[in-house]
Amino acid sequence: MKLRPIHVLALLVLVSSLLSAPRQSAQADLQVTGGVMIHSVLPDKVCVGDQLTLHGAAGITLMEDLPDSLAWLPVTRVDIHAQLGQVTPQQIIQENDFYYFQFTYTATKPGQETLTLTLNDDLASTQETFQVEDHCDYDAYLTEVALFTADMEGEHFQSLSHITGSGTLKRDRQGSQIYQGDGTWHLEEITLSKPSECVQYSVPPLIMSGPFELDGRLADEGDTIDVLLSFLPRQGDPIRHGDAICIDADGNVGTAWGLITEGDPALASKINATFPAGGGSQAVEMTGAGLEMVQSVGDLDYTATLTLLPH
């Protein structure tokens, strides 16, 4: 009598096994088809450091009718693998026969990348292959020499200016075609003329600096990049431009000095240029209301070069 509970327990385990085994076998032998895809459009240029959110879809379909006594319990699993970069998550599982999903791809190495998505242990798969570039940002360098000549109230004025600038144009890390950046310009202006009443005249060079903005867009074909450099006026407190000294024919000594204040942003000059995607160097022209104002009162002869180097 003491052994009966043991026999009863063994019988229950056996019956449970017999009832469940055919159900599992039937599920494994079902005829199922399916598919998986990435429906995001990859950007024209993918760069090391880019982080892309990609969207896809996966589904499975039962290809036969089941008896009323057997239920189909679909499970759709997608495994995601990147040959060079990183993906998150690496596996997506849902207990249904169709769903949309998204995952994040991060480019970590340059070269030919292959994304592989596999559905339910090779039931179906898809691949996306693209190139990952190492250098996608740009360093921008500006150099300009300008000679300004004017007759002001009967006096001849002439100055020589040297402008340099450097900045970085950075690509949006979501993989778009838009670039943005900034930099700093530096100006040194030397006065070459002297007032007519001065036998001797000296004035220190004008030295100042300020910011500029950079905007760019990669062409749809990915072969060129349009660049806009926008000068911004110097900001901050007025600065004193050093003393000018004038000695006339009688030996009298006179001095003068000036203040350099903030400029008007509406008068700032701009530079537009188109470069090959690999960068380069080219002569450029400036535009803007401030430039037109200067040219309206004198003759401005300048040469400017903008250089764009992959970074």
Question: What is the tens place of the pLDDT at every residue in 165-198?
Answer: 999 999 877 767 899 999 999 999 999 999 999 9
Whether 223 has a pLDDT exceeding 60, the answer reads: yes
**Residue 14 CB burial class (10 angstroms; 0-12, 13-18, ≥19):** exposed
* C-alpha separations of 142 from 148, 179, 282, 285, 287 in Å: 19, 18, 10, 12, 15
**Residue 275 CB burial class (10 angstroms; 0-12, 13-18, ≥19):** buried
Query: Could you tell me the end-to-end alpha-carbon distance of the chain, in angstroms, rounded to an integer?
Result: 86
Write out the H or E segment, with its range, that includes residue 305. strand 299-310
Q: Where are the domains of the chain?
A: 32-133, 138-310
* C-alpha separations of 205 from 107, 198, 235, 290 in Å: 49, 18, 20, 21
- DSSP β-bridge partners for residue 255: 245
Neighbours of 239 (CB within 10 A): 14
pLDDT at 28: 52
> Which tens digits make up the pLDDT trace of 54-77?
999 999 998 888 787 777 889 999
306: confidence class by pLDDT, cuts 50, 70, 90: very high
> Which tens digits make up the pLDDT trace of 126-169?
999 999 988 889 999 999 999 999 998 788 999 999 999 999 99
Nearest to 306 by CA among 210, 166, 209: 166
**Domain 32-133: what homologous superfamily?**
Immunoglobulins (2.60.40.10)
Q: Which two tokens stand for residue 261?
A: 């204040």
Pairing of strands 51-62, 98-106: antiparallel
Rounded Cα distance, 126 and 142, in Å: 47
Whether 26 has a pLDDT exceeding 90, the answer reads: no
> Which tens digits make up the pLDDT trace of 272-301?
999 998 899 999 999 999 889 889 999 999
